[in-house]
Structures are given as structure tokens and as C-alpha cells.
Amino acid sequence: MSTANRYQHIKSTKPVVGKARKLKDLMIKSDNRICADCGAPDPKWASANIGVFLCLKCGDVHRALGPDISKVLSVTLDDWSDSDIDSMVEVGGNSHANSIYEAFLPKDHLKPKPDSTMEYMTKIIRAKYETQDFLKPSLRISSRSSFKSTTSMKSVDINFSSTSRKDISEDTREFVGELNITLVKGTNLAVRDMLTSNPYVVLTLGPRRADCYELKLDLLYLFLHLFVLHLEDSLDDWFDEQLENYLDDDYLVFDCPGQIELFTHVPVLRNFVEHLKRKIFNVCAVYLLDSRFVSDVTKYISGCMASLSAMIQLELPHINILSKMDLISNKKDVEEYLDPNAQVLLSQLNRQMAPWFGKLNKCLAELVSLL
Ligand SMILES: [Zn+2]
């Protein structure tokens, strides 16, 4: 039976409503009409926590991995909970999941085909999801504790490291400390699941600590925040040691993460700059603004204000650069903002905004044309 026919069948016996409708809409997307692992047509199974649609054969391999790694459900026979459907919808289907789980699939590693042996399928599927051999290294989690159950777990320590110590010793990166993540509790937990779990975790790096309630939303920001605080703690020892490796005429570039809050809401970067100045470095700030952001006058003003906040915070010689120009299809859209005219900006702002913003618009346009 084709996918379309099956849906007609479902529709005739049981109306597709609410969340079930979302699952149906996801299923009929072209990438979900073939098995995520072997490419067999018309998959009728799915891994709810990983977010992929699977054929019967691959579904069997997934089931053997255990529900803590892959929660296998029949699309047509099982009752789906709302959270299982949400998980599937959030991942967005086979293409997106494979872009993560097969990001580093070696060229000589052939994906299984529908007629591959069970042994080969098992080997590749285990490597893909259990040991995550093809996952982007920065997304890998190595688990110190073994997860026994998805529901009975109360507190588990996970040792998180984007690169192993061995990797670090082989290149120029420095091991600055071990980030510990304590998982306090969570929902939909599955070992190594980066996409659908919703844990409450506590991060500690040295004496610093940060709490994170929503892994997928806040962890990166919290980690960066924790890391810059750790860097600040290390300025007088570890960081100074690093600086000794450079000569007077060396140029150093400190590439900062794109979280503007780190530079406007906390004084870490300011302290970092002051530290460099005390070491008699000439410091200059280069602010990169995504040129796609400069698509109309209000976004342009907003970008300028963000850059201005960094300038005020750091009080350094300051260069603004529009980045990613290659992604702009019509360069003329950006050109008019390169040398802005206060009157032109003001008339554009006034056209887009309510009359009572007139006075503010005038101040902003004059300020931006001076920057
Ligand atoms: Zn398959």
C-alpha cells in the first residue's frame, strides 16, 4: 500500500486531529518516505526519541539497542503520546537527523541497503546511534555512568568533553579544565540523545557553577558564560603563560562567541581587555555584523545599536565589518547603508514606524550617520 493510500485508510477509520495531524504531515515529507538508515520505501516505524522513520528491518535493529537509545513505535499501530510526536516534529525528519548522525560518515562506509545483511545493518546502525561514530565530534557525549533506565534515574554524572584529552595533546589546543555536567532530572531522557531530551543540568568548571533548565536552548550560552568566567579566573596564571609564547610584533586574534549578552551584561570581556592592556598590548575591537541583518532600516539601526553597546562596553578603537556578504543576493540593498545619510534614514524610519517615534527616530538617524 502506498503512503498516500495508507493515510486515506487512516482518515476513513479515525479522523486525524491535533498532534496526530502533525505526525502525518511530517510523514508525508519526501525524505520521510524512505527509511532513514537503509533507504527502503514506505517506512512504517519510527524512533520517537531519535526522530527518524524506519523500515521494519531497521526498526528491529533499533529495538535491540534498547529504549534508552532508541524508542521504536509503529506509526500505524501504536498510540503516540503528545511528547513523542513533539519530539519527532522538533527533529524535523530523516534528512535533518541524518545530517547530524551521519555528518562524519566516512566515504568508504557504505550505508546499508534494504537487502543488506542483518549483520551489516546492525553494525552500521550501532555505530550511527549507539557509539555515534559519525556524529560531529562537538556533539558527542561520552557517558561515564551507564544509563540503566530512562525513568528510574535520579542523578547521573556525565563527563562532557568536545574533544578527548588524546585529541587535545595532538594539536595546539590546551586542556583548561574538565566541565562536569550533573543531570538532576529530565523528561524523555535517552542516552546520548541531543535533540529531544529536556534535562535540568548543573554545569561546573573549576569553582564556577551554572544551572541549566533547558539543555537545547541554554546549554551553549551557559557553557560560554561559564568558560569566560573561568578564563577570567585564569588570567593571572594560565592565560599569562600562553601570552609568553608570543613576540612583540605578533598579532593575536581573540575570536569571541556570538553571544552579545556576554559582552554587554557581564564585565568579563572588559576585564579581559584591561588585562591585555596591562600587559602592554595594543588592543582593537572588530565587530562583525551579519550583512543579512542589514536588510531594512530598522534592522540596520538595531545592528548599529548592538555594535555601539560593544563599543561603549569595551572603550577600544573599534572597526565594524559587515560579514557574509556572499550570501546577499542584491548587494545594492546593503550599499545604501555603507555611508548612511541622516535624512534618508529618518524618512525611511518614519515611513515604517508610528508618528510618535518621530523624535527618537531623528536622534537615532543622526547618531548612526555619525558612527
Ligand atoms: Zn531500513
Using 50, 70 and 90 to split pLDDT, how confident is the model at 5?
A: very low
Residue 358 — φ and ψ, nearest 5°?
Answer: -50, -50
Q: What is the mean pLDDT of the chain?
A: 76
> What is the Å distance from ligand 1's center to 110 Cα?
14
Q: Which of 70-74, 169-173, 259-263, 339-343 has the lowest mean pLDDT?
A: 169-173
pLDDT at res. 159? 32
> What is the Å distance from ligand 1's center to 315 Cα?
58
What percent of the chain shows pLDDT beyond 70?
70
Using 50, 70 and 90 to split pLDDT, how confident is the model at 194?
A: low
> What is the Å distance from ligand 1's center to 150 Cα?
25
103/5: higher pLDDT: 103
> What is the Å distance from ligand 1's center to 100 Cα?
18
Residue ranges of domains in the chain, CATH in brackets: 3-130 (1.10.220.150), 138-242 (no CATH)
**ipTM over cut 0.95:** yes
> What is the Å distance from ligand 1's center to 76 Cα?
17
> What is the Å distance from ligand 1's center to 17 Cα?
28
> What is the Å distance from ligand 1's center to 105 Cα?
17
Using 50, 70 and 90 to split pLDDT, how confident is the model at 195?
A: low
47 forms beta bridges with: 52, 72
Q: Side-chain half-sphere of 269: how many Cα atoms within 13 Å?
A: 26
> What is the Å distance from ligand 1's center to 130 Cα?
16
> What is the Å distance from ligand 1's center to 75 Cα?
14
> What is the Å distance from ligand 1's center to 151 Cα?
28
> What is the Å distance from ligand 1's center to 89 Cα?
20
Using 50, 70 and 90 to split pLDDT, how confident is the model at 117?
A: very high
Q: Which of 57-66, 82-91, 158-167, 308-317 has the lowest mean pLDDT?
A: 158-167
pLDDT at res. 161? 34
Q: Are 234 and 207 in contact (CB under 8 A)?
A: no
pLDDT tens digits, one per residue of 212-244:
655 444 566 666 677 777 777 777 777 788 788
> What is the Å distance from ligand 1's center to 58 Cα?
4
Residue 25 CA to chain centroid, in angstroms? 25
pLDDT tens digits, one per residue of 276-298:
888 888 999 998 888 887 878 88
Q: Are 157 and 144 in contact (CB under 8 A)?
A: yes
pLDDT at res. 100? 84
Q: Which of 14-28, 30-44, 93-107, 137-151 has the lowest mean pLDDT?
A: 137-151
> What is the Å distance from ligand 1's center to 24 Cα?
19
- Grid cell, residue 20, equals 496526530
> What is the Å distance from ligand 1's center to 85 Cα?
20
> What is the Å distance from ligand 1's center to 143 Cα?
27
- Say yes or no to pLDDT of 174 above 80: no
> What is the Å distance from ligand 1's center to 109 Cα?
16
pLDDT at res. 218? 54
- Say yes or no to pLDDT of 338 above 90: no
> What is the Å distance from ligand 1's center to 41 Cα?
8
Q: Please list, residue by residue across 154-187, b when 16 or more beta carbons sit within 10 angstroms of its beta carbon and e when fewer do.
A: eebebebeeeeeeeeeeeeeeebbebbbbbeebe
